[in-house]
């Protein structure tokens, strides 16, 4: 049983050193890749920052809803308040008996 724990400990230790070696070599190569003009072009092409489709769709949906609310309120305002007064004034203007 003791030998089993010793082998597990050695196995974990070997894996940890392997992972650390991979990470350190990867960091060194990554730093080497990022130097120079091709790296700048590669980063510019691979840049995924910015607006996504969901953000744009949400903005469009918000604009449509706000526009519909504005149009509905204007239609209600003109239909009930403004248009009867304008209609009456136009009738009075054409029925002028001066």
Q: What is the pLDDT of residues 4-19, one digit of tens each?
A: 778 887 877 777 777 7
CB-based contact 62:56 (threshold 8 Å): no
Q: Mind listing the pLDDT tens digit for each residue in 20-66?
A: 776 766 655 555 555 556 666 666 667 666 667 788 888 999 999 99
> What single DSSP character describes residue 82?
I
Please indicate, yes or no, whether residues 1 and 42 belong to a single structural domain of this protein.
yes
Cα–chain center distance at 80: 41
pTM of the model: 0.38
39 in the same domain as 25: yes
Residue 93 in tokens: 């203007």
Do 69 and 95 have their domain in common? yes
Give me the domain span that covers residue 72.
Answer: 51-98
**Residues 39 and 33: beta-carbon distance below 8 Å:** yes
Do residue 63 and residue 31 come from a single domain?
Answer: no
| Other Cβ atoms within 10 Å of 35 Cβ, number | 9
């Amino acid at each position: 049983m003791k030998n089993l724990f010793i082998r597990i400990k050695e196995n974990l230790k070997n894996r940890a050193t392997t992972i650390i070696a991979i990470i350190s070599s990867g960091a060194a190569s990554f730093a080497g890749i990022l130097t120079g003009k091709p790296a700048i072009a590669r980063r510019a092409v691979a840049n995924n920052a910015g607006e996504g489709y969901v953000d744009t769709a949400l903005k469009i949906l918000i604009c449509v809803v706000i526009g519909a609310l504005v149009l509905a309120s204007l239609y209600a305002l003109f239909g009930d308040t403004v248009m009867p007064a304008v209609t009456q004034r136009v009738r009075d203007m054409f029925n002028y008996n001066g």
